[in-house]
Amino acid sequence: MSEVVERIAIVGLGLIGSSIARGARTYGLARTIVAIDRDPAVIERVRALGLAETATCDPVEGVRDADLVILCVPVGAIGAVAEAIAPHLKPGAVVSDVGSVKAAVVAAVAPHLSDANTFVPAHPVAGTEYSGPDSGFATLFSNRWCILTPPEGAEASAVERVRSLWQGLGAIVETMTPEHHDLVLAITSHVPHLIAYNIVGTAADLEEVTQSEVIKFSAGGFRDFTRIAASDPTMWRDIFLTNRDAVLEMLGRFNEDLSALSRAIRWGDGEALHELFTRTRTIRRGIVAMGQETAEADFGRARGGAPSGSVRSESALPDVAVGTSRHGAGS
C-alpha cells in the first residue's frame, strides 16, 4: 500500500488510536506519525513502544503541519479537542474521528472548524473490551466495517483521504448519514452493551446467590456478557449520553418485545418461544455465512489484511425502520 498522507496526527493513543498508529506504520500509510495524548503516562508508553515519530501532550504542537488529524478520544471529549486544535490546523488539513456516535460528534466539531479544513467523521466498527496504548494491534480493523458519515457537499478529496486510510488499514468502507448510523449502532452495539452492563449488575445484586457462585457458575451466555460489561466506563457513559434518543427508541422496542416474551413464558406459549428462537437462529446463521463470504472474497488479496477497494453490501447492516414492532402495535 502506498502512502495516504505525509503526516498523520492521532489524538488519543488508547485501543483505537494506538491500533491506527500500529497499522499506519505496518502498512506504510504515513511518512510521519504524531501521537498526542493528554495523559503523560500514555505518551511515555507510546515512546517506549515506538508507536510514533513524535509523541506529545500538547495538541497545538502536535497537529501543526499534519495533513490528517484523527480524534480518538471518548465521544464526550471530541468537541473540546476540536476547539483546541482548530486555530492551529494547516490549511487543507482533513480532520476525522473514530467516535461510536456520529450526530452528536458532528454537532460538537463542525462549529469549530473553518472552511480551510474538512471534517470527515468515521467509525470503525471494530474493537475489544480493553483500553490503553498497550491493547492496540495493527490488524484490529482488518476485514471490519468502517462507516463514514461525510456531510453533504464535503470535499471529495478529503473523503477520499479518509477512505484510503481505512482501506489501507484493511477495513471495508460504507457511507451513510450520521442519524442513520446512530440508529443502526443503537440496536447493534449500544443496547447490547447496556443489556450486558445490566445483567451483570443484576447478578451482582442478587441476595440469594453469592458473588462466588456467580463467578463459579459463569458458563456460556453470562460469561460472554461479563466480557462486554468490562468495557471502558468513560467511553460507554459518553456513548449513552450522546446517542440518547436512538438508544431510548430501541430500548422502548426491546422492552415491549421482552414483555411479550415474559407473557409467553407465563402462559406456557411454547409456540411463540419456538417461533422466535427459530427466527433468531436463522439471523445468526446469516451473519456467520456473510462473515465467511467476506473472508473468502478477501482470501486472494495481494497483501494480508487489506481489501483492495471499497465494498458496498446493503445486507451487511440491518435496515432499521422506526414505527413497527415485532409483535405489532398494541400486542
x/- mask, ligand ENO, residues 210-229, rule CB under 6 A, reads ------------------x-
In the complex, the smallest distance separating the C-beta of residue 270 from ligand NAI, rounded to whole angstroms, is: 38
Instruction: Decide: is 127 part of the binding site for ligand NAI (CB under 6 A).
Output: yes
Give, in degrees to the nearest 5, the angle at Cα 257 between 264 and 225. 100
Pick the binder of ligand NAI from 96, 131, 164, 242 (CB under 6 A): 131
* Sole window of 67-75, 209-217, 285-293, 294-302 interacting with ligand NAI (rule: CB under 6 A): 67-75
Give 23 or 127: the residue with its C-beta nearer to ligand ENO: 127
Rounded Cα gap, residues 93 and 157, in angstroms: 11
In the complex, the smallest distance separating the C-beta of residue 226 from ligand ENO, rounded to whole angstroms, is: 12
Place of cell 500509510: 29
In the complex, the smallest distance separating the C-beta of residue 227 from ligand NAI, rounded to whole angstroms, is: 12
In the complex, the smallest distance separating the C-beta of residue 123 from ligand ENO, rounded to whole angstroms, is: 6
Instruction: Decide: is 162 part of the binding site for ligand NAI (CB under 6 A).
Output: no
Q: Residues 286, 147: contact at Cβ < 8 Å?
A: no
* Sole window of 28-36, 61-69, 127-135, 309-317 interacting with ligand ENO (rule: CB under 6 A): 127-135
Give the total of residues touching ligand NAI (CB under 6 A): 29
Q: Which does 14 bind (CB under 5 to 8 A by kind): ligand ENO, ligand NAI, none?
A: ligand NAI
In the complex, the smallest distance separating the C-beta of residue 24 from ligand ENO, rounded to whole angstroms, is: 19
Give 77 or 199: the residue with its C-beta nearer to ligand NAI: 77
Q: Which does 96 bind (CB under 5 to 8 A by kind): ligand NAI, ligand ENO, none?
A: none
In the complex, the smallest distance separating the C-beta of residue 100 from ligand ENO, rounded to whole angstroms, is: 3
Spatial CA neighbour of 168 closest among 60, 305, 320, 328:
305
Q: Which does 138 bind (CB under 5 to 8 A by kind): ligand ENO, ligand NAI, none?
A: none
**Can you give the binding site for ligand NAI, defined by CB under 6 A?**
11-17, 37-39, 42, 72-75, 77, 80-81, 98-100, 124, 127-128, 131-132, 232, 235, 239
**Can you give the binding site for ligand ENO, defined by CB under 6 A?**
100, 125-129, 189, 228
